[in-house]
A and B are shown apart, each in its own frame.
Chain A
Amino acid sequence: MSHRLTPEHEDLRRTVEDFARTEVAPVIGDYYERGAFPYEVIAAMGRMGLFGLPFPEEHGGMGGDYFALCLALEELARVDSSVAITLEAGVSLGAMPIHRFGSAEQKKTWLPRLCSGEALGAFGLTEPGAGSDAGGTRTTAELVDGGWVVNGVKSFITNSGTDITALVTVTAVTGTRPDGRPEISAILVPSGTPGFALGQKYSKVGWNASDTNELVFTDCRVPEANLVGERGRGYAQFLRILDEGRVAIAALSVGLAQGCVDESVRYAGERSAFGRNIGHYQAIQFKIADMEARAHTARLAYYDAASRMLAGEPFKKQAAIAKLVASNAAMDNARDATQVFGGYGFMNEYPVGRFYRDAKILEIGEGTSEVQRMLIARELGLPA
């Protein structure tokens, strides 16, 4: 019984910690202010192999596991969430569906570039009218003359519009099931396919150095072979992907929560008020102690979910709990850290200001907190 890291995981954690401090921290604030995508930082993450972490070496991966990805996400998010979500979405939403459900041909074509970080993948589930209720997908894909013709709109799709975006996998209605409900499948649409366009530009509250777009498909035609996994299994497949993704988002949330502690401890030792460093005041100490306790318990929650996932055991409930608890911790810690910083916490030049703006989405993306509670309740046998 141990939640201690193996030497390899610890070495990776330290490597990413070092990278985040020396390569990301000094430059990211500027990208964030400009709302610019940090291509250079992402390329450096690619050279370190972060985008290939959980994939086998035969497809250009690092031969690691999903927990290794989680550790990298945590360490990146301790410094910045935009680069962390770019990695999370690229790996667990962009490349993972192809790795897990794709054909041999699809894997050969796409995974090496995605694993190297030279190309990014995206995953489009959410629509203007279908988020939590993703089964309510309206986008359609019709098989015409040996090709899928996709029509519809996807909302808030991460990594979908960068210069290095290679593909987006979308869920679409491909027919009607015998029981009368829509048959949902997953279709891979390469960037640049005619009929695939970016929609309105968003003005985001946070994650400003990450890429999010609305996608519009108008008679967008791709080969029949671009079906990912089985026809009619699109939604079910993605539920599995989303279970894993929750553990990754939990790790990212823990990173943000820990980053708040790091910054607060440092600032409490520097800032003085009424003749003493504010770190002498119990009100500040207790706030920071509570922050550390939240980060720590949330970390144990995601370690537990990840260890079950790696052991091949059911982990749905633990993943939902980890995401719920960790996103809460991130939100609470961001609020408290901003308070520790006083007026400076409200300034974008300090990382905590960024943490504050980046925390809220964690309670929304990849399943809202309400959705996590629904999942936990169902796992407890309460009626759906």
Chain B
Amino acid sequence: MNIVVLVKQVPDTATERKLDPADSTVDRAASDGVINELDEYAIEEALLLKEKHGGEVTILSAGPDQATDSIRKALSMGADKAVHLNDAALHGSDALQTAYALAQALGTVEYDLVILGSESTDARTGVVGAALAEYLGLPQLTLANKVDIDGTSVRIQRQTDEGYDVVEATLPAVVSVVEKINEPRYPSFKLIMAAKKKPVAKLGAADAGIDTARVGLANATTEVVDFAAAPPRAAGTVVKDEGNGGVQIADYLAAKKFL
């Protein structure tokens, strides 16, 4: 069972995140890069599946030089090897183009299953998984909170508002995960030390057979026309409990249509 996990490096949500005013792309130098949180769950799930079924876990990340930090972290959680797609031509690619580029890069790896986070914490489109499956011509199972494999097929619990659906597909397939699925492990020092010896294949656009006329800011299918900082949070409403605090809160929530 060979599994590829897609890992995106995103700006740390704990720090202030900025867009670059020059070209409206994420200012990646402005804050520390970390693994997109849901991708840690994807890595953990791949490692659990590997522990059960054997095989190899490969990390695939498209991103600039500094994404190597996140790749090393993914390897120190226990993945076996990595592919780093890094090319200036990819800068500013939108979700569709990213999915295309990732699909091309996947052509350089053998896999039975692709696992990814269901959404990133920066661009948050949540479409890469779907677009990728389309480019690869593979079934996609999304929002998994449980994954089981039996050799030729994969079955997931797809999280819904009411509970979950059970969905099945034949392998190879693309599965996106939600955070209910597991509890990502912390890297051990042994694996941290071992990570530096694990192979990381560095791919340029040409190595992956990516048509550079189809990627990058200039060719993006979407355009950021304008952006503005979120307005500072307004002062909240203070509810003074004079015996009816609960009622006041319920009324407030009802007025906002939360109840």
* Residues of A participating in the B interface, judged by any CB pair closer than 8 Å: 7-8, 11-12, 15, 18-19, 44, 47-50, 52-53, 57, 62-64, 68
Q: Does B73 contact A (CB under 8 A)?
A: yes
Q: Is the CB of A7 within 8 A of B196?
A: yes
Give Cα A47–Cα B183 distance, bound, in whole angstroms: 13
Prevailing SS type, chain B contact patch: helix
Q: Is the CB of B186 within 8 A of A8?
A: no
Q: Is the CB of B72 within 8 A of A11?
A: yes
With beta carbons under 8 angstroms apart, the residue of A19, A44, A47, A64 that contacts B189 is A64
6 closest A-B pairs by beta carbon, nearest first, are A49-B188, A62-B189, A62-B190, A64-B189, A48-B186, A11-B192
Give Cα A8–Cα B189 distance, bound, in whole angstroms: 8
Q: What 13 new A-B contacts, CB under 8 Å, besides A15-B186, A64-B190, A68-B189?
A: A7-B72, A8-B196, A11-B76, A11-B192, A15-B187, A44-B186, A47-B185, A48-B188, A49-B188, A52-B190, A63-B189, A63-B190, A63-B193
Task: List 18 A–B pairs whose Cβ atoms lie within 8 Å, in order of A's numbering.
Answer: A7-B72, A8-B193, A11-B72, A11-B73, A11-B192, A11-B195, A15-B192, A19-B186, A47-B185, A47-B188, A48-B187, A49-B190, A50-B189, A62-B190, A63-B193, A64-B189, A64-B193, A68-B189
Q: How far is the CB of A318 from chain B (nearest CB, A)?
A: 24
- Give A53's nearest chain B residue, CB to CB: B189
Question: A-B pairs with CB below 8 Å: how many?
Answer: 46
Q: Is the CB of A12 within 8 A of B192?
A: yes
Q: Is the CB of A49 within 8 A of B189?
A: yes
Chain B residues with CB under 8 Å of A19's CB are 186
Chain B residues with CB under 8 Å of A15's CB are 76, 186-187, 192
Interface size on B, residues (CB 8 A): 13
Chain A residues with CB under 8 Å of B190's CB are 49, 52, 57, 62-64
Chain A residues with CB under 8 Å of B189's CB are 8, 12, 49-50, 53, 62-64, 68
Q: Is the CB of A11 within 8 A of B187?
A: yes
Give Cα A50–Cα B189 distance, bound, in whole angstroms: 8
Chain A residues with CB under 8 Å of B196's CB are 7-8
Q: How far is the CB of B31 from chain A (nearest CB, A)?
A: 15
- Which of B73, B186, B189, B193 has the most chain A CB within a 10 Å cutoff? B189
Q: How far is the CB of A16 from chain B (nearest CB, A)?
A: 8
- Give A63's nearest chain B residue, CB to CB: B190
- Give B193's nearest chain A residue, CB to CB: A8
Give Cα A62–Cα B192 distance, bound, in whole angstroms: 10
- Give B77's nearest chain A residue, CB to CB: A15
Chain A residues with CB under 8 Å of B188's CB are 47-49, 62
- Which of A15, A48, A53 has the most chain B CB within a 10 Å cutoff? A15
Give Cα A50–Cα B186 distance, bound, in whole angstroms: 11
Within 8 A of A (CB), among B67-106: 72-73, 76
